[in-house]
Structure 1
Amino acid sequence: MHKSSQPVMETVTICLQLNTIQKLEYVAAFRRVGRWSFENGESRSFLSENVFPPLTELYGDFGGRELVGATMDNWPFIKVGRADGGIFPTGGIDINVLDTIAERLNFTYRLVEPPDGQWGYPSPDGTISGMIGMAARHEVHFALSEITITDGRETVVDFTMPYHFDAVTITSRAPKQRGKALAIFWPFSFEVWLLLVAVVIAIGPVIFLFMECNRRANLSQETFRLQEVVFSVFRAMMVQGNRLALKSFPIRLAFMCWYIFCILISALYGGTLTAFLIIPAYEKPINSLVDLVAEAKDSGFILTIMKDTSQESILKEATAGIYKDVWDFAFDPNKSHVATQTDGFSRALTEKSGYITTKYISEIRTMRRGKHLYYIGRETFYPQGFGIACPSGSPYRKVFETIIGSASPYSTDRLFEGGLVAKWCQDELVGTRSSTSDSDEGEQDVVQAIALDHLQAAFFLLALGYALALAILFLEVLLTMAK
């Protein structure tokens, strides 16, 4: 320290000691990095460079140190083997990410599983489950296995920037072919059938009333019984023509409008029925959360989901809207939780349930199990990013991000911006597709010949009509005998 001639001012030179090894000899050196002064009761410092090196330099080389990471067997992102009571990586998208970071930063790693087998989420009672809990309690250096970045999780751990993005969908059993016993009724909805029956019943008396008004006004001398008019109206609906000799123009015009209506209805019915009969028809699939709620109300359909995942949290914490409806009507606390992804997809085949997970997972896992057995909903929701979870305040998180993605346009080791993660995802899909037998593709929709099961309802209506006619005949005989 050097004292100046002025007693109110002191100046101190700040030096940084550098320890280096040159030719196997330990060398200590100092370099001036700034100065500090005290003048008139105020302190001032002037630094020409940082005293402490930036984290990217400090943690740019781990020197071969072993890091411990939490993970779960979650193909295609993580594939692990088991030996001596532990696990070891055998492949997967996240393993490729981790291997790239480890090679670049010069560290090795050892993987462990969470005791509860869950991804993890902070609970209201303060406990934190799964891999997130292990990272939050500093039991591991990082957690990696398709972990979604959420606001709730970021209160207890620090995430790297996302290295992959996806959205959530619903996977259920492939719709079965509809039974054809009532195929002749398929062309029109229930409301249309009701309206047609009402029109056929009403139009006969309406035309008859019109004819009577015309006759009483001395505009026509034609007289027909109500039964004749009603039967002619029914004949027209069956495209059987008309036997009434009509001379009045207004009455002819009324019947002409009715004929046109009947021709249009007949053409629509015939064409639509043909399409329904020769092309297989299927049950309505679950395409959206709205479909899921409707099916839950109608038939007890439930959702299945892994516990303490981001997908469960958005449904459970919703206070209004479709997410709350799904939680209220489709979630069963005794049946909806599954232990693994495999259980979710298995239950989708054996129960009336839909498994909620990311679209990529749905595509690749159904491809392996037999894509024709499943139906993946067309609507996706809850877009999300996946990151590496680190303990809060981890100094190496930023260093991990320099490998995942960098702000520098000249960086050559950015996994996300360089498209490497997307390529690894595509490679897994291609590998799974090539290993899947062609026989798993399922039957294609082909034109089918009309068989007896297509016309069951027609024969049933014929039998019902004859039975009704026989019952009426029997009743008329009894009334005649009673007179």
Structure 2
Amino acid sequence: MEKALVIATVTLKLVMFSACKRSLLPALSLDSNEVAEGERKASEAVREVLSVASDSRCLSIIVGDGDPSVATLLLLRELSWCVSVVVVSDDPAALLTFCERSLKSQFIVWSTRLLVVTHLSTQELSHLHESLSKMNAMVMTLRHDRKQTSCSFYVHMPYSPAGEETLQVASWGSLHGLVLRGDLPLFPEKFTRLRHRAKIVVAAEEYPPHAFVLLLGGTDGRGQPRFTITGPMVKLLEILATSMNFTYTYVRPPDGAWGAKQPDGSFSGMVGMLSRKEADIGLGPFGVSASRAEVVDYTSFIVIDYARIIGGRGRAEVDPWGFLLPLAPEVWLGVAVMTALAMATAAVLTGLSERFSAGRRSAGLCFGVVRVLLIQDTKVLPERRWERVLLAGWMIVTLVTVKSYAGNLMSLLAVRHIPQPYQSVRDVLDDASCTMIWETNNAYIQYMNSLTSGTFYEVAEAGRNGRIIYKRSTDFMEAVETLVRRGDHVLMVEDLTARVFLGQDVSSTGRCDFYLSREVFLPFIFAMTGQKNSPLVPALNRRIRAVTESGLYDHWMQGAIPNSTTCANAPSKITVNTTLGLSNLWLMFAILLGGHAISLIVLLLETFWNKMK
């Protein structure tokens, strides 16, 4: 199978070369035999270059004047394992059109090797520099005379100063063959380490704990506030800049957003800046989404994070139902069942008695079971030994239960309950008085607005009904300190970012005034971004993987979250050493008064019934 593929590829190369001979030598005054010889030697030069620089399994597509459209070539590339493209033309306008359309349509990507074969000089191809410098491309210039055919191979270097746009990497002659020039190979990795120190524009915004914006005071030349960025992402960027040989400047998005698709198809925030080529790299990290991938390229992932709810911890409150807490619900149920069983047993045994009527005596013994449960006295006749045995067993069960209850109750009366009502998205949706805070124009909002059903569709609907406040990431801390602390707002944010806010609150107040929900939701992969089809992205990927796989980025991130674990598992119940007050016992008094009220009503009904009889 592999041999057949190689043979088919080589055959395709030869066929397409012969089909494009018409455009190689259009302007030379040589006879037909010399033209054919020059074409043959030029074809040998191209084949030798492709054999050295390309995998033998790669499909070679040769394009000349009047050849298939870019859409057809794009289909060929998508169906091929790898592709080498040879463009044969002496028309500067045609070459420019091909390069621009290839980049726009993604026919030429960095993995595709492009060889431009032409008689034009490098000066005549200067208008192609911007396009060719972004491609894995070489230019092969042909020269013919009556003795030999010679070729020179040039590479357009990215970010090069004026006058140094091209660099010769090889030459070929019919007498000496292919000879490399300098230290660069054929189709060099121009972006692995930039030959010329580049100036990169980096779009960045505050995103704790990954990036923090520090205002320096004053304004820059454009009248914007002077600032700098710190944090783990900046440390990663410094490694990338040093190893790839570039400098960088920051630019912040005017709307302070990461970027989401707008109704007109454009993108807001930093994603929009990259799509408009106002920046080269997006620092982020950005949540990976299909809509953003339409206009930007993502690097290797940096971190995986998920959203959580930040809520304000309520003040310590006394639980009025605390008197029920000493026994578990199943114990209360067991006591009720055993009481009913004891009363039923007493009724059955009394009914079988020969000396007393079942009605009068069973009622007395049944009430005796209840009196024992309530630690009251009861009377049993001496001759009724079976009643003594029954009540003795019941007294033992009651004694253990009541003593256990009393001991635990004294401890639990000192417990204070700290409300943490919102533990899931459903809890927030069910409370119409609670308002959510989300970041404006981010991947979460884009995702929720695209849904037609489910929990997060309900969240989007709640936002359309006014229950969502959209904030910039730089305004989150203020929102936490004011709105969330009140208790009627919650902040929906990534787990790592939430821990930063909790840590900062502990550092400033010494208390745990906020809590994180038990439920996590909306997991996202986060990465840096680059312009669509930017060759910078593959070069960044190798270095980013090295940093993340070594655990270095996680180490930086942990250092950027002080006191991150102090309130991670803060208790929802605390104990205090204080006297018992009405706030601890009011519900028990309420039950007592309720019982008295009910007994009074029953007494009145009984009196009324007796008079009626």
Q: Structure 1 length normalisation: TM-score?
A: 0.75
DSSP-derived class of the 1:144 partner: strand
Asked if residue 342 in structure 1 is aligned to residue 477 in structure 2, the reply is yes
Q: Partner of 1:426 in structure 2?
A: 558
Q: Judge conservation of contact 1:222–1:246 (CA < 8 Å) in 2.
A: no
Q: Partner of 1:312 in structure 2?
A: 445
The 1:34/1:284 distance shift into structure 2, 3 A limit, reads farther
416, 420, 423: which one pairs with 2:548?
Answer: 416
**Using the alignment, how far apart are the partners of 2:470 and 2:440 within structure 1?**
7
259, 273, 286: which one pairs with 2:422?
Answer: 286
For 1:97, the aligned partner's letter is L
Q: Judge conservation of contact 1:220–1:248 (CA < 8 Å) in 2.
A: no
Deviation at 1:476, TM superposition (A): 7.9
Deviation at 1:425, TM superposition (A): 1.3
Which structure 2 residues correspond to residues 70-469 of structure 1 after superposition, within 5 A? 70-76=203-209, 77-81=211-215, 83-84=218-219, 85-86=223-224, 87-123=226-262, 125-187=264-326, 206-207=344-345, 209-215=347-353, 218=354, 224-225=360-361, 227-240=363-376, 242-245=378-381, 255=391, 258-259=394-395, 262-263=398-399, 265-267=401-403, 269-287=405-423, 289=424, 292-298=425-431, 300-319=433-452, 322-324=455-457, 327=460, 331=463, 333-340=465-472, 341-346=476-481, 347-370=483-506, 372-405=512-545, 414-430=546-562, 445-452=574-581, 453-466=583-596
The 1:206/1:30 distance shift into structure 2, 3 A limit, reads closer
Q: Judge conservation of contact 2:414–2:577 (CA < 8 Å) in 1.
A: yes
For 1:355, the aligned partner's letter is L
Q: Judge conservation of contact 1:70–1:131 (CA < 8 Å) in 2.
A: yes
Deviation at 1:98, TM superposition (A): 2.0
Deviation readout 1:215-267 (Å, 9 max, x if unpaired):
3xx48778744552343132122133542337567666665665566456535
DSSP-derived class of the 1:127 partner: coil
Rg larger for: 2
Q: Judge conservation of contact 2:351–2:357 (CA < 8 Å) in 1.
A: no
Deviation at 1:134, TM superposition (A): 1.3
The 1:351/1:336 distance shift into structure 2, 3 A limit, reads farther
**Using the alignment, how far apart are the partners of 1:302 and 1:90 within structure 2?**
31
Segments of structure 2 that go 5 or more residues without pairing to the other structure are 1-24, 47-150, 156-163
Q: Judge conservation of contact 1:293–1:325 (CA < 8 Å) in 2.
A: no
Segments of structure 1 that go 5 or more residues without pairing to the other structure are 20-25, 36-45, 406-413
Deviation at 1:148, TM superposition (A): 1.5
Give aligned pairs, total.
446
**Using the alignment, how far apart are the partners of 2:327 and 2:427 within structure 1?**
22
Deviation readout 1:337-377 (Å, 9 max, x if unpaired):
33132254232212423212111111111111235010012
Q: Judge conservation of contact 1:390–1:397 (CA < 8 Å) in 2.
A: yes
For 1:282, the aligned partner's letter is I
Point out which structure has higher relative CO (alpha carbons under 8 A, 6+ apart): 1
**Using the alignment, how far apart are the partners of 1:135 and 1:276 within structure 2?**
60
The 1:327/1:238 distance shift into structure 2, 3 A limit, reads farther
For 2:191, the aligned partner's letter is T
Q: Judge conservation of contact 1:68–1:111 (CA < 8 Å) in 2.
A: yes
**Using the alignment, how far apart are the partners of 2:440 and 2:385 within structure 1?**
75
Deviation at 1:116, TM superposition (A): 2.1
**Using the alignment, how far apart are the partners of 1:399 and 1:474 within structure 2?**
91
For 1:83, the aligned partner's letter is G
**Using the alignment, how far apart are the partners of 2:197 and 2:37 within structure 1?**
53
**Using the alignment, how far apart are the partners of 2:334 and 2:376 within structure 1?**
21
